[in-house]
Structure 1
Amino acid sequence: MAQLHFALNHMVAPQLSVQDFFGLATSLDGDAVEIRNDLAGNAILDGTSPDAVAKAAREHRLTILSINALQRFNDWSLERKDEAKDLIGYARDCGARALVLVPKNDGTGRADGERQENLRRSLIELKPLLDAAEIIGLVEPLGFEICSLRSKAEAAAVIDALEARSTFRLVHDTFHHHLAGEDRLFAELTGLVHISGVIDPSVSRSDMRDPHRVLVDGEDRLDNLGQIKALLAAGYQGRFSFEPFAAEVHGLEDPSSSLRASMDFLSSSV
């Protein structure tokens, strides 16, 4: 049985308060979580202070891996800079190690040349802000056909051109990796792996969306097992963070037992 290092993204149970979410993580013998800034009525949107989040994490003996996320990070503007400053400051003050950076996903900014330059400009602007706070920027390409940054190879090329590996890492999301159809893994540049599965037999790959994303089991169509094995073989030693978006997962009365079952399946199969 492989020793996989798991984490929980708050999306596993977005209805739980931060305190209860942290309690869920510790009930599974976990020591690492991701918090989010897109959950209405919950921290961070409800005004919960970063100090309160830091205190709760200490009480539960948890490391906060990231805040998920600065949206449309590659659509840089003064507004985006203000958003980035606020989130980076919150990450620093709550003890989070990283900020996830999500590209715009509305069909714009996809032209060759344009998308690379937008990425380059945004990383140049973000680097001093992240470095000053000692926060890592986790660039997460999305596999959707309309996304302005689908390719990890493209992201890695810009990071390396800027000699910015000390500031930026990649997120390998098993769902988005499958959708993008990208072969290369970039394990040495991967700072975090997001895991979720798709079991609906009727949906085509091009039609897969966030609501299809469930916990990983033996019916998974995304080859999570193959991806995880390949990442480990390539030297990845970081966390595998559960990030399901499906309503049926969010509605579970006992998410702990379902998460434990998925963890056991993955650990025993890898």
Structure 2
Amino acid sequence: MVQFALNHMTVARLGFVGLVDLAASLGCVGIELRNDLPQPLFDGMAPERAGELIREKGLRLLALAEVKRFNDWSGDKAAEALALMRIARAAGAEAVSLIPRNDNLGMGNGERQAALRVALKALKPMLEDHGLVGMVEPLGFEICALRHKAEAVEAIEALGAKGRFKLVHDTFHHTLAHGGPYFPEHTGIVHVSGVTDPGVGIAEMQDAHRVLVTEGDRLGNIAQIADLQALGWNGPVSFEAFATEVHACADPAAQLAASFDFIRAGLARKAA
């Protein structure tokens, strides 16, 4: 059984309460909220009350996103991370999302790994103090200073921080990074979206191409989920679509339900 979840980006035009209601109606296990949308977190509701509302609907607050450019560590970055962690703890979130720099800087071999370890070493006690997990999301873009999950795992294990940090396995970014090994024991959540445009090459794919997972998906979402499940992973599969046509959908509940069914059916065929 797939544990579906909903990232606010997929329904970015919905308010906080609308997102919670939609996720509950679809039978999701939880939601992810973001600080990079036009509206404030929880639409300005107190984090404590927002957390209560989420739990009243039978949902988990899987993560608050995001600490941007976390591997470009500084005093300002520490303050940014601390502020998000305080909100996350107040709302009862399980994790905060850590997004690496994606500006074609800090890319040198050795430089990348050193910067990552500096950031993770500083973040580890902060996360421990707040009872949170740091969700590290490698981005498959060629200009990202943390492109491959293997580098993240190496740093996490070197710091003895397995469990305090977990990976986001994003099917889009896994494809852009040309695949590579899975790390089920380090994976906290899977992000899914589809790319169906036949005219865009893998190296040219951007967030704007990310739609729901349907027939014609070029990212192999079902295969990636099946592979992870075969390795023993069974965590939340969260929809994170960025395309404007998804945001403009008049009936997101129906479109999401159809995509959920498409994935379930595909997984069932693979398991048969």
The TM-score bracket by the shorter chain reads over 0.9
- The aligned counterpart of 2:198 is 201
Unpaired stretches in structure 2, ≥5 consecutive residues: 268-272
- Match status 1:33 vs 2:31: yes
How far apart are 1:69 and its partner, in Å? 1.1
Alignment equivalent of 2:12, drawn from 14, 23, 27:
14
How far apart are 1:206 and its partner, in Å? 0.4
Give the residue type in structure 2 aligned to 1:84: A
Q: What's the TM-score, normalizing by structure 2? A: 0.96
How far apart are 1:218 and its partner, in Å? 1.4
User: After superposition, what is the alpha-carbon deviation per residue over 1:224-268, rounded to whole angstroms, capped at 9, x for unaligned?
Assistant: 111111100011110100000000000001100000000000001
- The aligned counterpart of 1:219 is 216
User: Secondary structure in 2 aligned to 1:232?
Assistant: helix
How far apart are 1:125 and its partner, in Å? 0.3
How far apart are 1:53 and its partner, in Å? 1.4
- The aligned counterpart of 1:105 is 102
- Match status 1:56 vs 2:25: no
- The aligned counterpart of 1:4 is 2
- The aligned counterpart of 2:270 is none
User: After superposition, what is the alpha-carbon deviation per residue over 1:3-32, rounded to whole angstroms, capped at 9, x for unaligned?
Assistant: 111100011111111111000001112231
- The aligned counterpart of 1:148 is 145
Give the residue type in structure 2 aligned to 1:85: L
- The aligned counterpart of 1:263 is 260
Contact 2:71–2:115 under 8 Å retained in 1: yes
2: CA distance, partners of 1:211 / 1:48: 29
2: CA distance, partners of 1:242 / 1:58: 20
User: Secondary structure in 2 aligned to 1:22?
Assistant: helix
- Aligned residue runs from structure 1 range 23-102, under 5 A: 23-43=21-41, 47-102=44-99
Contact 1:141–1:176 under 8 Å retained in 2: yes
How far apart are 1:58 and its partner, in Å? 2.4
2: CA distance, partners of 1:67 / 1:41: 14
2: CA distance, partners of 1:72 / 1:28: 33
Q: What's the TM-score, normalizing by structure 1? A: 0.97
Higher mean displacement: 31-40 or 133-142: 31-40
CA RMSD of aligned residues (A): 1.0
2: CA distance, partners of 1:122 / 1:20: 35
2: CA distance, partners of 1:27 / 1:211: 27
Contact 1:88–1:99 under 8 Å retained in 2: yes
How far apart are 1:182 and its partner, in Å? 2.8
Alignment equivalent of 1:124, drawn from 121, 126, 129:
121
Q: Across the two proteins, how many residue pairs are aligned to each other?
A: 267
Identity in percent: 48
Return structure 1 stretches of 4+ with deviation > 3 angstroms. none
How far apart are 1:216 and its partner, in Å? 0.3
2: CA distance, partners of 1:149 / 1:229: 25
